[in-house]
């Protein structure tokens, strides 16, 4: 009983760590991959470059930003840096669990992680189907920026450079990438199970 419970617990710990590593890793790679994409708007490119420069307390030196926009960008920059560090930590935990428990090298972990990741995506999809993208976007901003410094008038520069469609398109790409990774884990897990 004790060995079976330990195996179950370690399987789910490693699965959860792998799912988090995939969600965070896809986020980090897609955000940092932005630099390789052609960008038409120089101001938007300058803002994204600032956001990806790591943790720092200096405000962006862009004359076209008002103080509220600059402070919000500083908050976003610090959030992105924390997500980068969280990804490294989760990935390290995941690799330690994988190394310490050889059984995970098989299809068992891939199947658990793939199905857990799909369940998370389905839950998120259900929330969006019930309320739409905008309420989820607003809820996420309330949660991440409790000071409320993320609300700007419709004619502000940040709203014009980063309209809701910009975030929706990024969310679609992100969703497709993580969905593909979880489906790939499930296929690999089933293939690995048939081979062993």
Joined together, the tokens standing for residue 26 give 């896809």
**106-110, long-range: CB < 8 A, 24+ apart:** 106/192, 106/193, 106/196, 107/188, 107/189, 107/190, 107/191, 107/192, 107/193, 107/196, 108/11, 108/189, 108/193, 109/11, 109/14, 109/15, 109/18, 109/189, 110/185, 110/186, 110/188, 110/189, 110/192
pTM of the full structure: 0.84
Comparing 32-41, 48-57, 164-173, the range with the smallest average pLDDT is: 32-41
Digit-coded pLDDT (tens) for 115-167: 999 999 999 889 888 888 888 888 889 999 888 888 888 889 999 989 888 88
What's the pLDDT score for residue 179?
95
pLDDT score of 105 more than 80? no
Rounded CA-CA distance 21/9 in Å is: 18
What's the average model confidence in pLDDT over 35-60? 80
Share above pLDDT 90 across residues of the chain, in percent, rounded to a whole number: 29
- Please, which residues have CB within 8 angstroms of residue 94's CB and are 6 or more apart in sequence? 14, 17, 18, 20, 21
């Amino acid at each position: 009983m004790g060995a079976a419970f330990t195996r179950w617990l370690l399987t789910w710990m490693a699965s959860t760590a792998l799912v988090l590593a995939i969600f965070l890793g896809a986020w980090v790679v897609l955000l940092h991959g932005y630099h390789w994409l052609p960008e038409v708007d120089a101001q938007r490119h300058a803002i994204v470059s600032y956001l990806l420069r790591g943790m720092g307390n200096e405000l962006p030196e862009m004359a076209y930003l008002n103080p509220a926009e600059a402070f919000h960008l500083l908050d976003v920059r610090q959030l992105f840096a924390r997500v980068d560090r969280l990804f490294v930590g989760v990935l390290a935990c995941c690799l330690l669990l994988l190394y310490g428990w050889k059984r995970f090298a098989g299809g068992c972990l891939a199947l658990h992680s793939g199905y857990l990741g799909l369940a998370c995506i389905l839950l998120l999809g259900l929330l969006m189907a019930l309320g739409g993208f905008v309420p989820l976007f607003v809820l996420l901003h309330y949660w991440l920026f409790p000071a409320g410094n993320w609300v700007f008038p419709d004619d502000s520069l940040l709203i014009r450079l980063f309209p809701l469609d910009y975030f929706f398109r990024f969310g679609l790409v992100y969703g497709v990438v993580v969905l593909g990774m979880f489906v790939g884990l499930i296929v690999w897990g089933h293939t690995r199970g048939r081979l062993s």
